[in-house]
Amino acid sequence: MKLTKTAIDKLPAPAKGYAIHWDDALPGFGVRVTSAGAKAFILQKRIGGKDRRITIGRYGPLTLEQARTQATVLLGQIATGGDPIADKARRKAEKTTLQTALDDYLSTRKTLKDSTRHDYAHTLRWGSSDWLARPITAITPDMVLKRHAKLGERSKAKANLWVRYLRAVLNSAMSRYTDSEGRAILADNPARIIGKTRAWFEIKPRKGWIQPHELRPWWDAVQGLANDAMRDYLVALLLTGMRREEGLGLKWADVDQQAKTLTLRDTKNHETHVLPMGTWLAAMIEARPRHGEYVFQTPRGRMSNLRYNLDLVRKHSGLDRFIIHDLRRTFGTIAESLDVPAYALKRLLNHKTGASDVTSGYLQITTERLRVPMQRIEDYVLRAVGVMESGVIVPMHGEPEAIKKRQ
């Protein structure tokens, strides 16, 4: 049939699915009618050895004359070797913004912890909030170089982290966003320019730890905190070597007072980690008030902003460069000074053993095997801060009876 406005208006809706009515005047051009009565112009043509169908637009907003004109243009592109479908897909993909690429990256990476997801989003906003609405194809190597240098004036370490996160998101985008022929819309990752030009900022790893003569002033400063949750949290990190987020995420359901163990579930290496508690720590945790599901929680909820209390500890201890991760390094340093076996220390710190370490596969270091070294580390700290003298533990203010005397 020859398509006219009158003929299109009279086309009936099929009982189900859709029906196509082809135009005798322009081969391959037609109108598709759905069972709901919706009508749209289409063009069907062989492209690249395959029959391909292109939807031109809905009838109504688009007139027959306009649709026929667009179909004629498309036929001309196809006749000269073009692929309107691939071009359309590519144009759509090229509009993908950095925010969309970030959201898609985080949604597909199932193994990322919530804290890491938050860090990705926070860091990319910190370094490139003005790029988030920009197409990823508009980000150039020169832009990355200049932005990295500028961010380095604020924080060299964070500028490097920004590049690593941007590179990871754009690497994923190179595989994810393609045209209909599978060609990537990003030929290269612009963030790789930092590595290619060796523009990374040199960051010396922190090696801070609390030395033996500093333990007492640090302890006294922590014990002076009005926030008992923060006080006990910092002490627990020192006596166990837990990471910052592991301590903040510790729940009462994962504290076994009878077995004197802590179970850490949201760990860096994604493996559940069971730690034995020393006698003093077990009593301290048992005496903690229960304000919710988390062990180190205030009446107002789970702790999140630790800066104020950390500033107080720095001020009153004199350790002005103290950060939370220093406690983990201090725990490991004390353990090594007490000749805790290397494999036991790895287990205490929940470090993964490399694939090349065959010996580790033959060792079964149980939680109970870790109890003795854990107690030795605790005793060392308590003696250093003056809580333990000659095998007797001196009670601190507000401590339960269970802490006063070793069971």
- Convert the pLDDT of each residue in 67-116 to its tens digit: 999 989 888 888 877 777 766 766 666 688 999 999 999 999 888 888 88
Q: Look at 80 and 288; give whichever has higher pLDDT.
A: 288
Q: What is the DSSP string of 87-125?
A: HHHHHHHHT-BHHHHHHHHHHH-TT--HHHHHHHHHHHH
Site of tokens 């490991």: 332
Measured CA to CA, the distance from residue 113 to residue 52 in angstroms comes to 43
- pLDDT, greater one: 89 or 295: 295
The answer to whether residues 350 and 268 touch, using CB atoms and an 8 Å cutoff, is yes
Q: CA nearest 218: which of 324, 313, 309?
A: 313
Instruction: Give the CATH superfamily of 212-404.
Output: Intergrase catalytic core (1.10.443.10)
For the full predicted model, state whether its pTM sits above 0.85: no
Cα(312)–Cα(318) distance, integer angstroms:
10
pLDDT mean over 191-196: 96
What's the pLDDT at 101?
93
Q: What's the whole-number average pLDDT of the chain?
A: 86
In residues, how long is the chain? Answer: 407
pLDDT for 25 beyond 60: yes
Cα dist. 93→87, 130, 182 in Å?
Answer: 10, 20, 11
5-82: CATH number: 3.30.160.390
Q: Which two tokens stand for residue 105?
A: 């990256």
Structure tokens at 81: 């070797």
Q: Where are the domains of the chain?
A: 5-82, 98-196, 212-404
52/253: higher pLDDT: 253
The per-residue b/e assignment along 77-107, b for 16 or more CB within 10 angstroms, e otherwise, is ebeeeebbbbeebbeebeebbbbbbbebbbe
**What's the one-letter identity of residue 285?**
I
Cβ(334)–Cβ(215) under 8 Å?
A: no
Of the two residues 150 and 358, the one the predictor is more confident about is 150
Query: pLDDT tens-digit profile of 315-368?
Result: 999 999 999 999 999 999 999 999 988 888 888 888 765 544 444 444 445 678
| pLDDT for the residue numbered 378 | 95
Least confident of 126-135, 144-153, 162-171, 351-360: 351-360
DSSP class of residue 399?
-
d(CA 216, CA 326): 15
CATH of 98-196, one of 1.10.150, 3.10.450, 3.40.50, 3.90.220: 1.10.150
